[in-house]
Copies of this chain bind each other. A is one copy, B any other.
Amino acid sequence: MKPGMEKPDTVIRVGKETERVSSMKEPKYWSKEMGCQAAIKFQMSACEQVRVNVIYSLVVACGVVLILAQLFPLRAFDATKWSWPCNEIAKLTVGKNGELGPLSEAILHEKVNTSDIDLSRGELRVFKPHGLAMHLWIEMGAYRGGPREFSIVGLVAKPIETFHEPPYLCEWVLNDGKGAIKGNSSKILPDWNYGKLYTVVVITCTFEQDVGVDREGGELVLHVSYGDKYRQPERITVLTEKQGEYNATMFSPPYPYDYVYCGSSVYGDVSPQRMREWLAYHAYFLGERSHFILHDSGGFHPDVWKVLEPWIKKGRVSVHNIQQQEIYDAYYHNQFLVVNDCLFRSRFMANWTFFFDIDEYLHVPPTTTLEEVLSEDPNVTQITFEQVPISNELCVADNTTADGHARKWTFEKLVYKRVLKRGIRYDRKYVVQARHAWAAGVHMSMNMKKGKNWYPKGDKLRYYHYHDTINRRQELCNTFVAPANKTQVQSHRRHYHRLDDTLSKTTDLVKAYELQTIGTLPFIL
């Protein structure tokens, strides 16, 4: 209505003016000696209006592309995952007059079905959302468990799981649009309710028929719901099998290894020397047909890598960099998530999978062997074993020099076990036939498919626990027992301790094995 408002669309007017200018055709500008700009200008004008229109079309097309680029950003990367945030906003929020609608902010980043929300009556109150506290689902891994079974490991937003108990659905999508087969999904929450922002979920998908066994390839798709009427489930492709990838023989023995070790999340300022000792000990203890899967949650700094790399090169160790999970706060560097991922990863890698920490050392008395213990009862699929807590300060004041002492290995010099009190339950760790477990825990699997759990006494299989040594980059011994008194019960920090130099006696063997297998390593405390 105001005079100033009546000016026509600027782009169009500029176009017309340019046309007028260019149609003046000033031949005096045309000469071979003129600058390039003039030459191009003349050329444009000399070719009648057609030529001008070509340029205009290019300009307009460029503008359209720019506008489209604004509306559909990042399409090129992965349309299914990236398109909706901006896409949906643009579609749903711009009202009749181009203004942002009242629900615009509500659906920022959300696929919200607002069809039963009636904002037509009353004084409208707008609830503006800000930021993103939690995603619905954090995908870590998905693994085949057989021709018709899969396991999916991830985190779900804890309150969604607690209060909305969302359904999880899985399906197998055949390659080349040949349809999909619905599966049955069952969930396990293995983290004892310890999760904070997120909680660990293991989904087992089973199908009533074999899927993908024709080796034509396909995808396992998980639908995770919000458990409310406003939001549609997220569709997540958790596993993709390429044509010819399915391998029917992998599910049966022989497996590549006898033993796989699944380490928990390692974080903090880890001592390279302690890591080195632990690896050498267990590489020796578990033997050539073992493999160690370690999880780096920020604890493996460059000096630790110096002692890891030789073992990695030998194929004995894999280090999984899981630092990204730190962003998603469930519990304790996501250890419950990590052990479950490793469980499924190791299922058909080895007959047995061990779960314990890098300050813990396995031991089998010389009267038997690890192999013998594990095969004692073929019905046993899980063994949880006792710990021997070792003082991280008490040492014997022997004759070595101070420097010689400092260079002794942890299990060489820490030789006092705490006398356990009755009635107290001490943590156990475990070894499991991973293919028979639905899910893993930190101290045991609570979800075995098949077989017996065995809780043997320490005279079968036990672990020595050197608590609070791995992140202490300094000399450990600070209380010394006179050699003459070393077999006496020692009272230290309100606990009684007894000499137990069982592991100490293996030091020479372990050191020799390390030297022989990977050569010399630096001593970095």
Contacts and interface: CB of A to CB of B under 8 A. Distances in A.
Interface of A: 36-37, 39-40, 43, 46-48, 50-51, 54, 62, 65-66, 69-71, 73-78, 81-82, 85-86, 89-90, 100, 102-106, 108-110, 112, 114, 116-119, 121-141, 155-160, 162-164, 196-197, 224, 226, 228, 230-231, 234, 236, 296, 298, 300, 305, 318-329, 341
10 contacts: A36-B51, A86-B86, A118-B323, A119-B321, A119-B324, A121-B319, A126-B324, A130-B236, A163-B329, A164-B329
Given A40-B47, A73-B71, A197-B163, A137 B131 contact: yes
B117 A324 contact: yes
B117 A89 contact: no
Contact of A135 (B81, B90, B130): B130
Contacts of A82: 89, 108
Nearest to A160: B133
B121 A134 contact: no
A213 to B, nearest CB: 27
Contact of A105 (B74, B81, B318): B81
Contact of A133 (B47, B74, B134, B230): B134
Contacts of A105: 81
Q: Is the interface of A mostly helix, strand, loop or mixed?
A: mixed
B296 A121 contact: yes
Kindly name the residue among A46, A73, A230 whose own CB sees the greatest number of chain B CB atoms within 10 A.
A73
Contact of A132 (B36, B48, B136, B300): B136
A85 B62 contact: no
A201 to B, nearest CB: 13
Contacts of A117: 298, 323-324, 326-327
Kindly name the residue among A46, A100, A121, A234 whose own CB sees the greatest number of chain B CB atoms within 10 A.
A121
Contacts of A71: 73-74
B103 A85 contact: no
Contact of A138 (B90, B129, B228): B129
A296 B70 CA distance: 35
A281 to B, nearest CB: 22
In order of increasing CB-CB distance, the 6 nearest A-B pairs are A131-B136, A133-B157, A122-B321, A129-B135, A73-B73, A122-B319
A123 B106 CA distance: 39
Contact of A128 (B37, B126, B138, B300): B138
A108 B85 CA distance: 9
